[in-house]
Structure 1
Amino acid sequence: MRPDRDIDALRERLKMLEADGHPVDSARFDLGHEAADRHLGGLAVHALHEVHAATTPDATATLGFALGLARRAAPDKALVWGVQAMAGLETGHIHGPGLRELGLDPDRVVLVRVKETKDLLAAGEEALACGAVGAVLLTAWGEAKAMSLTASRRLSLAAAQGRATAVLVRLAAPPQPSAAESRWRVKAAPSRALEAEAPGHPTFEVELLRHRLGAQPKSWIMEWNRERGVFQNGGQERLELPAVSGGVVSVPADRSIAAGGGAVRRFG
C-alpha cells in the first residue's frame, strides 16, 4: 500500500473512533501480567471497560478483578464505587479491611449506593466528568433498559472528559452492545497456598471477550499480588487446568467500609 493511502486509512480510522464516542487518547495502562499485556498492548486509561461475572457465584471474584483494574489504571487517586442495591444484597456489604487485603486504601474510596440502574449510570457520569477522581467502578445487577449502548457511550465520553477510568461490572446480565474499549468475563479460580500454608493470592480465570483495538479473545489464569499491585501469572501448570467455576472462599462481611477490624473477605 502506498504511504498516502496508509495516511488516508489512518484518518478514516480516527474519524470512526471519534464518531463512536472514543476520542483519541494515547494514555494506556497495563495489568502487570506479562502474557496478557503482550497480547493487549495496554488498555486505555480514560475509557470504559466492562467486566461480566460468568455466573452469580462468581460475582465476588469479578469485583476483585474489577478493583484490580481500577487500581492499575489509577493507583494514586481516589476511587468512586457506585453499587446498585440488589448487587449489594447479593454480594455482601463492602468491608474496609477486605479492601486493604487487596491493597486499596478505604480512605480513598467514595461509596455511592443507589436503587435503580438509571441512578447508578447518572452517578457514574457525574463522578467521571468531575475531574477529581482516578477511577469510577459501577456495580450493576441484572438486565435493564437503561443499560443501553447510548448509556455506555455516555460513560465513555464522561471518562474521556474527566480523564478517569470507568469500570462497569455487570452481574446476572449477559453481554450486549456496548461502547466499552474492553469486555471481560471472570470466574473464580482456586488459589495456591503461600509459604507455611498461608492463604494464597486472590486468583481469577479471566477471559477477554472483546477489544476495540483488535486484540483477539483469549483467557488467562491471573493472581492479584496486593504487595506489588499487579496481576501475575499463577504458574504455567495452572494455565493447563480446565475452567473452574466457583471456588470462592468468603468470610461474611457485615460491616461498613469505615468499620475497622473483623472479618476479611478473600477472593479465590
Structure 2
Amino acid sequence: MKLTCDPVRAKTLISAFQSVSERVSNAAGTRNVRLVAVSKLKPATDILALHEQANVEHFGENYAQELMEKAEILPRSIKWHFIGGLQSNKCKPLASTISNLYLVSSVDSQKKASQLSLGRSLLPVPADSTSPPSPLNIHIQVNTSGESSKSGVTPGKDTTELCKYVIEECPFLKLVGLMTIGAIARSHMKEGEENEDFIVLREERDRVEKELGLEGLELSMGMSEDFEEAIRQGSGEVRVGSTIFGQRPAKQDFKVLAEVEGEKSS
C-alpha cells in the first residue's frame, strides 16, 4: 500500500511548518530548540508529506493506539514523541514495539517509568547486534498549574524523587528533562507578562539539577498559543499542532488512513 498526500494539502502543510519553524528560530536566537509537530488525529499522509518533502523528523502523538498504528506504516526515520496522558498498561507495548520512539514526555509515576524501562529492554535488536537496546529518552511531567484536571507530579519533593528513581532504577530510560502543559488562561498572557507555569518548571529544573548533581536537563514547554514566550523563558522543546495541521476532527471521526479525495474506501 503506497501512501500519497494531495499536492495542495502537502504545500499547505509545508508552508505552515516553515512559518512556525521560522518563528521558533527567531525566538531562540543562537539556541537550538526542537520543534515537535503534533500530529494527533491527523492522517498518516499529512505526516508523510512533511517528513518526505520538508525533512521534518519529530512528530508528537497523544494516543498510544494511534501512535502504534502510524508507526507501523510510516518510515522508521521518523522520530516519534509520545506526549499524551500515559496509561500504565500502554507503557510496555509502546516501548517494546516502536523502535523509533524517540521520547516519552508524560512520565509522572514510578510505575509508568518502570514499565517503560521494562518494555524498552524487550525491544528487538538486529540479529548481528550484541548490544542491548539503547535507553529511551523521557521527560518527567510536572503539574505546574496545580489543576486537578492536569497530569503530572507535584513540584518539589515528588519531582525530585521521581527523577532520582528513573536515574537509579530504570536502566533502559534516559532522563532528558521536565515537561509541563500549563493552564490555558496563562497561555494567553499579554505580551511582556511572564507565564507562571514556565517560571515554575524552570525553577524545578534548576532545583533538581542542584539536588541530584545533574546538568543539561531540558525544558519542554510551550504549544501553539505560547511557544515563543516559552522559548524566551528557556524552553528547549516546543509542541505545535493546530498551527501546522489546522483544526482536528472529533476523535470518533478520525482515521489513520484518510480516504483520498475522489476515491471510495475499499
Tell me whether the two structures share a fold, i.e. TM-score over 0.5: no
Higher relative contact order (CA 8 A, sep 6+): 1
Structure whose residues are more often strand by fraction = 1
Sort the TM-score into its range (normalised by shorter chain).
Answer: 0.3 to 0.5
Q: TM-score if structure 2 supplies the norm length? A: 0.32
